[in-house]
């Protein structure tokens, strides 16, 4: 199957700083990427959908000024958590889809963010 990577796999940052998480499709062109967030012992909740070259579509309740999503190429999307606070500590998972892979959705391994 197709491979999606995320970097970093885990990150610790201080409150008030910004952190960027990368999501890459390694062997296919991802026209659409999704960002999910998962708090401990909870389900995955979709944060936003991004199509290459377009602005991301955010789910209700997700602050677009706080969670900046960029999908500038067909293989890379980034999520920047700006002015992070402890309540942003979570597991962030991206997924990617594209016609190359018959529009199947492939998940990255996730990034664990801890804000101290």
Partner 1 sequence: AQKVTQAQTEISVVEKEDVTLDCVYETRDTTYYLFWYKQPPSGELVFLIRRNSFDEQNEISGRYSWNFQKSTSSFNFTITASQVVDSAVYFCALSYNQGGKLIFGQGTELSVKP
Cα 71 from Cα 22, distance rounded (Å): 10
103 binds partner 1 (CB under 8 A): yes
112 binds partner 1 (CB under 8 A): yes
CB of 83 vs partner 1, minimal distance in Å: 25
29 binds partner 1 (CB under 8 A): no
53 binds partner 1 (CB under 8 A): no
Q: How do 44-51 and 57-58 pair as beta strands?
A: antiparallel
Cα 62 from Cα 88, distance rounded (Å): 12
Neighbours of 96 (CB within 10 A): 32
61 binds partner 1 (CB under 8 A): no
Cα 105 from Cα 23, distance rounded (Å): 13
- 24, 25, 49, 84: residue in contact with partner 1 (rule CB under 8 A): 49
Residues of this chain that bind partner 1 (CB under 8 A):
1, 32, 34, 42-46, 49, 91, 93, 95, 97-98, 102-105, 107, 109-110, 112
């Amino acid at each position: 199957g197709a491979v999606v990577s995320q970097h970093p796999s885990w990150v610790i940052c201080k409150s008030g700083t910004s952190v960027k998480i990368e999501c890459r499709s390694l062997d296919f062109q991802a026209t659409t990427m999704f960002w999910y967030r998962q708090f401990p012992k909870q389900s995955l909740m979709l944060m936003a959908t991004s199509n290459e070259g377009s602005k991301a579509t955010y789910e209700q309740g997700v602050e677009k000024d706080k969670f900046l999503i960029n999908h500038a190429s067909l293989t890379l999307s980034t999520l920047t958590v700006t002015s992070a606070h402890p309540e942003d500590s979570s597991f962030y998972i991206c997924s990617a889809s594209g016609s190359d892979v018959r529009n199947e959705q492939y998940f990255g391994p996730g990034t664990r963010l801890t804000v101290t």
